[in-house]
Structure 1
Amino acid sequence: MSAANVERRVAATKADLADAIAERLREVIADAVASRGVAHVVLTGGSMGEASARALAPLDDIDWAHVHLWWGDERFLPTGDAERNETQARVVLIDVVGVPAANVHAMAASDGPDGDDLDAAVARYRDELATVAPQFDIVMLGMGPDTHVASLFPGHATTRVDDTSVVAENDSPKPPPQRISLTFPALNAAREVWLMIAGADKADAVRAASGSTDRTAHPASGVHGRERTIWWLDEAAAGPGA
């Protein structure tokens, strides 16, 4: 991964990290709304996605009427399933702050208009992206211990896709097997990409991905913002010398 425009920000604890991310996200949203009238933010799931969204909710000076929310990936499960990233975000953020329904761009559920047709659900999100044509201000991503980001897993064919914005994953190594994911071109079109990582169990993955240029072997190494890439880490994930 190129070190150009890559920042590393380390907080003492996971809670401190979530607070720092929320404060910076508030600033980015405010700047985007002031400059362009709208902010487009890509949310993520996982423990850091939940922690940062929960920390964001009490910040009452965010103009949510001008914020559009998207997702980097989603588990292809029924609406309201607790394992869906959308469900998590609704519980801790969206329903708490009252984001307008038209501003919430969730990936399709398996009981949605396309039923259990994953390819149709992928095409629906791809079409929505093409219609709205958002310029993502922030793409927020977690990272697994295997260095996967979104639902782009090491060694999978999806890590080599460059000709479309959204792909289906039918064989996720962690359940559920069926998922929808943005591709590297879609993620990397964002102004900023943030990798948000906490816990000692991620320290080896942080070292591996931050020192790699092989996005198929280490997908986290393949994501970068057009203007800035930030690795948000707690001390445990950052490892010795943080």
Structure 2
Amino acid sequence: MSHVNMAATKNVRVLSDAGEVSEKVCAFIIETANAAIADRAVFTVGVSGGSLAKILSDGLPALKTDWSKWRVFFCDERHVPFDDPECTYSVYKKNLLSKVPIQDEYVFPDNPNIPVEEAAEAYTQKLEAVFGKVGLPKFDMLLLGMGPDGHTCSLFPGHPLLNETKKWVAAISDSPKPPPQRITLTFPVIQNCRCAVFVSCGSSKAEILKRVLEGNEEPALPAARVRPHTGALCWFLDKPAASLLKSYS
């Protein structure tokens, strides 16, 4: 495994292939979870959809942790019914949550049966029920995805939600990527986490990774803006995804 430190706030791990990425990121998640449980008796995590869901569903169930101490939120969610193929919660419920002993009450899906603005407010209340009525929730870990345009969560380049500073969870009704209605954690919550983790595999991610990790674009792409104020930022990449990075050879 090669370690590439591109900045003091970034820990970029380049691994041989997607299989090794899956193995290492799942081990890192469990290590972080067990340390949080030992320290604070709970592990708060936000998960994302896409290829990350398969990585976690394949790798986590075989590892040892106290699942009763996990509190699972979603970094963003498409505002669609649970039986819609686009529903991230249902993907996790079928492929991960069905394999591990975690109670339904400790998993927090979006409510697709109310208007999206109300759903964002309701999700904020779910966060408050776990974190308390604090200035900002402090997640132990946010597992983030990145799209080919550099978006993360449902925070898209050039969208007004990039500048949201008051809400913990925001609604979006004009997503440039379908479906148009979603809810998403906002940047104040993301930047307050103890650890943010990106996972990217495959040569199709090489160009956008170069822009995010080594570019100096203004304004910065959403994924490039993720820099926890006092927490860690980790990237797990395979060699094809990292192929255009100058800092990796």
Normalised by the length of structure 1, the TM-score is 0.91
Between the aligned residues of both structures, percent identity stands at 32
Residues of 2 paired with 1:199 and 1:89: CA distance? Answer: 22
Give 5+ residue unaligned stretches, structure 1.
Answer: none
Closer/same/farther in 2, CA of residues 78 and 20 from structure 1, 3 Å limit: same
Q: 1:219 maps to what in 2?
A: 222
Residue 54 in structure 1 maps to residue 58 in structure 2: yes
Kept in 2, the 8 Å contact 1:22–1:53? The answer is: no
AA aligned to 1:95 is S
Kept in 1, the 8 Å contact 2:56–2:96? The answer is: no
Kept in 2, the 8 Å contact 1:10–1:235? The answer is: yes
Q: 2:94 maps to what in 1?
A: 91
Residue 13 in structure 1 maps to residue 17 in structure 2: yes
Residue 235 in structure 1 maps to residue 239 in structure 2: yes
Kept in 1, the 8 Å contact 2:192–2:231? The answer is: no
Closer/same/farther in 2, CA of residues 215 and 164 from structure 1, 3 Å limit: farther
AA aligned to 2:138 is Q
Q: 1:215 Cα deviation (Å)? A: 7.9
Q: Once superposed, what is the RMSD of the aligned Cα atoms?
A: 1.7
Give 5+ residue unaligned stretches, structure 2.
Answer: 1-5, 132-136
Q: 1:212 Cα deviation (Å)? A: 4.5
Normalised by the length of structure 2, the TM-score is 0.89
Q: 1:178 maps to what in 2?
A: 181
Runs of 4+ in 1 over 6 A off after TM superposition: none
Residues of 2 paired with 1:86 and 1:31: CA distance? Answer: 26
Residue 45 in structure 1 maps to residue 49 in structure 2: yes
What per-residue deviation string (whole Å, max 9, x for no partner) do you get for residues 124-149 of structure 1?
A: 01122223225311100010110000
The alignment covers a number of residue pairs equal to 235
Q: 2:3 maps to what in 1?
A: none
Q: 2:124 maps to what in 1?
A: 126
Closer/same/farther in 2, CA of residues 214 and 165 from structure 1, 3 Å limit: farther
Q: 1:63 Cα deviation (Å)? A: 0.4
Q: 1:186 Cα deviation (Å)? A: 0.9
Q: 2:150 maps to what in 1?
A: 147
